[in-house]
Amino acid sequence: MADRRITVAKNAGFCFGVARATKAVEREMAAAHLGERIFTLGRLIHNEDYNRRLQAGGVTVIGVEDLARLAAEATPDAPVKVFVRAHGMTEETEALLTRLAGENHSFSFVDCTCSFVKKIHSICAEHNEANRRAREAGGGDDRFLAVLGSPDHPEVVGFLSRFEGRKMVFGSAEEAEAMLKEAEDLTAGDMTPVLVAQTTQNIREWEKTKKIYNLNFSSPYIYDTICSITDSRQTEAAELARKCDHIVVIGGRDSSNSAKLYSICKSICADTVWVERADELPEICPPYQRIGIVAGASTPHDIIEEVTNKMSETMNENFAELLEESLKTLNTGDTVTGIITSISAGEIQLDLGAKVTGVIKQEQITDDPSAKLSEMFKIGDEVEAFVIRVSDRDGFAELSKKRVDSDKNWLGIVAAYEAGENLEGKVVSVNKGGVEAIVRDNRIFIPAAHTGIPREGDLSTLVGQTVTLRILEIGDRKRAKGSIRLVLRDQKRAQEKAFWDEIEEGKIYTGTVKSMTSYGAFVDLGGVDGMVHCSELSWKRIKSPAEVLAIGDEITVFVKSYDAEKKRISLGYKTEATNPWFIFTHQFAVGDTAPVKIVSLMPFGAFAEIIDGVDGLIHISQIADHKIGKPADVLEVGQVVDARIIDIDNENQKVSLSIRALLEEAKATEEAAPVETAEEAAPVETAEEAAPVEETAAEVVEVEAVEAPVEE
């Protein structure tokens, strides 16, 4: 019998929301002055024993229908205070309480709605407002509310009241699927679901429900609203049921979360019983060697203790000590999880389910002094922290979230090292032999040879940059070495492999001129180099690639040929579109006139440049309209003259030009023009002006007489 054990679940008893509500009422009971009346709107928790104690202490349970009457009865000598339970209230009830409290200061209310429930209220109100805006814009409701929960549960009734559109409530994933099949207009139309869950729902049913909605809708709004404590409580109950051969569930018969705990445990451990009080315990049979105790969120600790004490009479165990252990004994160095109960400018406070309150100062949360804790957290959030110091006398435990984050992230770094995965980090400093980067809140040393910076290069250029690295070595005391170079090497290899997998002749690339030699230029095509031979750089003959390109130029090239085995690529740069002869023949035709530049003089004629890369020959007979001894008598190198294209030899790419043709054409035009007399050219208007005109005419006649040929 010595090896028989009883285990009390660590999360047994009041959850954060219930504990806050009960403490608020108990404090008011203790401080209430003569004449004050205290009420709870509905039963405060799902536990009849506890509610009877409240009633014995003067606390009365009322309904919404009683509020107006009580507000009217409240006086300064007999004030009324109403406590709203953790399940919350409807939007209409909240408005009524606010109005009544504003009209009579002797009437007041305390809203003890759980922060998790408040979150669902906000979600429903937000999407209800979105529907309202859509209606105002001329459309209709485009969202409907879907709830995994009990339709009559106070929680569900409360947040359904905050959504005016279409809504559906179902108790299981199977029921959810059936309801969607019936509502074909929802799945076939443009409606988008807003999916939430009652805070005490079974996490497995919730996961199945989410899958159903993700399958039926493309972009559903899904919110994980199951209380994290409920999730932890259910997970712990399942684990305990697997380890034990008898489970006792303690909780009220109308408690939703107690029912879920019983269902979970019963499905795993057949010998599971559900009791509200110790006197409902059955006889514990001797064969049971391992017994587990779990309790719902509305179960007071004294009832848990009463049940365990009664069991101790049979099992000869000190259950009071077991219960005390279940309330967590904190020690320096422990890692604990708590629920945020208070947020101020410099710290947050946590309910740890222990005798002390957890406190995390801002400097133990973040290194950013400007960070606002109220924006980072909200009341009800679950936070994991490291215990720095415990003071039972002061009732506080100093905690560090940074330490837990760092430790968790370090495990992630170790896992990445073992898996050979890459990590991202920010380089923050240069030190002897390398640089340091912050990776997931941990410092990683990167030796200079692994930075990717060339030898003698400036390591400080990396400071401030976010880099991708791989862990080379894990040492003691959370020390590690990393490499940027290995990541760059692998990236280059992957880039090269992808390049060679996709290359083909004729494929066009945009690359950068990397280097030049006497015979060509090397072009970086994106991690792989190709070579453009000088003959491929220009249609003209060049002596060096530098005549056409400069290092750093971005150029478009195409693959002429390649050898994947030898990693060689021959590139082309010049194209038919850039062929000077192609350009010339598309700009000029026989008979066109063009300004040409004399580039060389030969005994038989002159060569002239028509466009860059295309020259034409002006034969000596086509240079002038009279016989000349040599081209240099009329032309000189560099001179620009107009010439007519008189022949184009496409096969041999030769052009014949003529200046003479233009001269003869001009002369013929001049001879064909009519000769005007002096009088026609300048008619005399006055006697004074007539004399010089006559004199000019005489001179013209005289010149003509001299030049006229003598007739035989």
What are the residue numbers of the active site?
155
What is the C-alpha separation between 167 and 161, in angstroms, rounded?
Answer: 10
Which among 251, 29, 15 is positioned nearest to 115, based on CA atoms?
A: 15
314-342 per-residue burial string, b: 16 or more CB within 10 A, e: under 16: ebebebeebbeebebebeeeeebbbbbbe
What is the C-alpha separation between 531 and 568, in angstroms, rounded?
Answer: 8
> What are phi and psi for residue 132, nearest 5 degrees?
-60, -45
Count of beta carbons in the 10 Å neighbourhood of residue 345: 8
546-572 per-residue burial string, b: 16 or more CB within 10 A, e: under 16: eebbeeeeebebebbebeeeeeebbbb
Q: For residue 198, what are the contacts with CB-CB under 8 A and spacing of at least 6?
A: 147, 148, 149, 150, 153, 155, 156, 225, 226, 256
What is the C-alpha separation between 602 and 641, in angstroms, rounded?
Answer: 17
Q: What angle do CA 644, 645, 651 make, to 5 degrees?
A: 170
CB distance 512 to 523 below 8 Å: yes
What is the C-alpha separation between 604 and 631, in angstroms, rounded?
Answer: 8
The residue to which tokens 């409907």 are assigned: 144
The residue to which tokens 């995994």 are assigned: 148
Tokens of 536: 């491929």
3-state class (DSSP) for residue 1: coil
3-state class (DSSP) for residue 4: coil
CB-side exposure of 74: number of CA atoms within 13 Å? 24
Sheet of 59-62, strand order: 59-62, 37-41, 80-84, 107-111
Q: What is the largest CA-CA distance in the chain?
A: 166
Looking at residue 75, the DSSP 8-state letter turns out to be B
What is the C-alpha separation between 356 and 349, in angstroms, rounded?
Answer: 11
